């Protein structure tokens, strides 16, 4: 979990605030239960949190797409300030994909731990 929180801080630093300035808000990461000690209900809540995060991350990236299109047009018009913002927005977009992948892996680890602790 610490790695994911660090990744969010990195996302905000890399984007240079572009995600926030463009009105695109990275969703809050859900809490992943400890599969070794979680109940089935806690695992289901965790799964719902992951799905909600994935949906919100998709919306974030759609918003970033729009911002990146505007920035790219500004770069093509010769605006010297737009290029680094475009690069930062692109990095923020890519980092959001990486965060989603990390979250999915963390939840999959929790599922494996839950199954090991609760054999059928």
pLDDT in tens, 9-28: 444 444 444 444 457 888 99
Residue partners of 22: CB distance under 8 A and separation at least 6: 63, 64, 66, 67, 70, 89
Q: Which of 22-31, 34-43, 66-75, 90-99 has the lowest mean pLDDT?
A: 22-31
pLDDT at residue 95 in the model: 92
Query: Residue 64 — pLDDT band, cuts 50, 70, 90?
Result: very high
Query: Residue 120 — pLDDT band, cuts 50, 70, 90?
Result: confident
E strand or H helix at 30: none
Percentage of the chain lying above the pLDDT 90 cut: 74
Distances (CA, A) of 23 to 2, 5, 53, 80, 113: 26, 21, 18, 22, 38
């Amino acid at each position: 979990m610490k790695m994911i929180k660090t990744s969010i801080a990195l996302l905000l630093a890399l984007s240079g605030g572009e995600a926030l300035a463009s009105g695109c808000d990275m969703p809050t990461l859900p809490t992943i239960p400890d599969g070794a000690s979680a109940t089935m209900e806690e695992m289901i809540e965790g799964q719902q949190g992951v799905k909600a995060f994935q949906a919100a991350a998709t919306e974030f990236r759609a918003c970033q797409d729009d911002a990146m299109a505007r920035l790219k047009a500004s770069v093509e018009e010769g605006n010297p300030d737009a290029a680094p913002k475009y690069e930062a927005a692109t990095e923020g977009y890519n980092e959001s994909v990486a965060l989603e992948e990390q979250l999915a892996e963390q939840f999959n680890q929790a599922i494996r731990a839950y199954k090991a602790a609760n054999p059928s």
